[in-house]
Amino acid sequence: MIVKLVAILFMSTLSFCASSNNAMNQFLLAAQTGLNEPTEASDTRMNVVSSFLEEAQFRFNTSEGNEFDANALAQSYEIRVKPKAWGQREIEENILDLRSNQQNHHYNVALNTALKNRYLILLSYLEQHNTTQYFFKLSNLATQEIRLIRREVMGEQFNTQKLLGAVEMFEQSKALTILNLTRLNVLQSQIAMPLDSAESILDHSAVANMVDFAYITEKLSSMNNTIPSMPDALAENLAVEMAQAKSELLKAKHQLGVNLLSFAYKDSHNDSMAFQLGINIPLGTHFNKAESQYELYEAKSQLGERVAKMTLSLTRIQKEIAWLAGEIKLADTQIQRVQKYIEKEYIKTHPLLTITLRKELIEHQKKRTDIQIKALKLYVDALALSGYLIQEPLRNWIQNGAPELMDGGRR
């Protein structure tokens, strides 16, 4: 009977965890909602004529003689076109491609920010779950302590002050439990996950299915070689490429070459046709070209500064994670120490001492989970910095196994 009951409780816990994890994944996936989709490339492409001509004009002129003689009426027609310089078409196509890449990048940056915000909400939920669980455990221990002290009411060891202290701790922990459970349920409603009960909170660790320090450390190490492709660096890289392309476009427009073709026809007593050819003559460095060089230099400087800043940020996160890893080892040592004391036979014969040790144990357990959640927050910062959050297919990077976020929409 007991085995059957344990099996039912175990399956219920698994079902609750699976439902919670699915709600988390759907909550993360909803980060795409409301973001402006990039413009389709086909809507911004040049047609065949505009690919080869800068501009085209049709001119029509009517004139009469001094005596306003209708026979002296003359009309002229002219078609004037400005062909693009050699190589200009390819450069302009490149600039349009860069514009499209920038627009896609803006979308990815917006998605990256939206995902990071949702990860932080999930971590707030985990943090709140841990705090609520702590107060539930503390309240239960206070109840047990009160019961044990009251049993000694007729004995010599009865201590009124100790009883009052236990009652006061129980009342405080009960009030804080109710307050934190309300906060927890608000976060769960925001995430659209099943609301926790006292049983589910006590039986389920907040970080049970979250990645551990070994995984986080390994993932952070792999980010050292991805700095050039990180979102912020990619934005600056695109800015440099755009400045280079614009500089090349100005150079192409001012090179030696044909920049005007004109075909004219005059309808009068003496019909005539005319052809005009304009040649662009380079005059050395001009203002626009000099200005574009300054813009290119500035874009390259900003890229260098951005890469250096991101390198420092990633290094700082890695160091803080390493420090937290040391703290969690210390917490584990303290937890094991207290557990060993609780298992000793002479401690088991002193119920009140056992409760005191259990209070110390849940303090260390709460601290350990707090450290892991703090590490997860730093990990999310690194994931957002590196661009892993928007790496396709989208995944839940804080859950064990980094499961893919499945959906039929755009990813």
> Which DSSP string corresponds to 115-146?
HHHHHHHHHHHHHHHHHHHHHHHHHHHHHHHH
Q: Which residue has the higher pLDDT, 244 or 48?
A: 244
Which pair of tokens denotes residue 47?
């047609």
Least confident span in 13-22, 58-67, 95-104, 219-228? 13-22
- Identify the pLDDT of residue 200: 80
Q: Which residue has the higher pLDDT, 372 or 407?
A: 372
- Burial environment of residue 127 by CB neighbours within 10 A (0 to 12, 13 to 18, 19 or more): buried
**The pLDDT of residue 127 is above 90:** yes
Q: Which residue has the higher pLDDT, 143 or 42?
A: 143
pTM for the predicted model, two decimal places: 0.80
Task: Kindly indicate the confidence band of residue 65, based on its pLDDT and cuts at 50, 70 and 90.
Answer: low
Strand stretches in 31-129, DSSP E: 53-63, 74-83
Contact partners, residue 79, CB within 8 Å, separation at least 6: 56, 57, 58, 59, 262, 263, 264
Task: Kindly indicate the confidence band of residue 162, based on its pLDDT and cuts at 50, 70 and 90.
Answer: confident
- Identify the pLDDT of residue 11: 44
- Work out the mean pLDDT of the chain and round it to a whole number: 81
Q: Which residue has the higher pLDDT, 120 or 34?
A: 120
- Identify the pLDDT of residue 261: 64
- Identify the pLDDT of residue 285: 65
- Residue 380: CA atoms inside 13 Å, Cβ hemisphere, count? 24
- Identify the pLDDT of residue 10: 40
**The pLDDT of residue 410 is above 80:** no
Contact partners, residue 69, CB within 8 Å, separation at least 6: none
Task: Kindly indicate the confidence band of residue 408, based on its pLDDT and cuts at 50, 70 and 90.
Answer: very low
Task: Kindly indicate the confidence band of residue 13, based on its pLDDT and cuts at 50, 70 and 90.
Answer: very low
pLDDT over 90 percentage in the chain: 32
Task: Kindly indicate the confidence band of residue 224, based on its pLDDT and cuts at 50, 70 and 90.
Answer: confident
**Mean pLDDT along residues 332-360:** 89
**Mean pLDDT along residues 68-86:** 70
- Identify the pLDDT of residue 297: 85
Task: Kindly indicate the confidence band of residue 411, based on its pLDDT and cuts at 50, 70 and 90.
Answer: very low
Task: Kindly indicate the confidence band of residue 190, based on its pLDDT and cuts at 50, 70 and 90.
Answer: very high
Q: Which residue has the higher pLDDT, 152 or 188?
A: 188
Q: Are 230 and 342 in contact (CB under 8 A)?
A: no
Instruction: Determine the residue type at 91.
Output: I
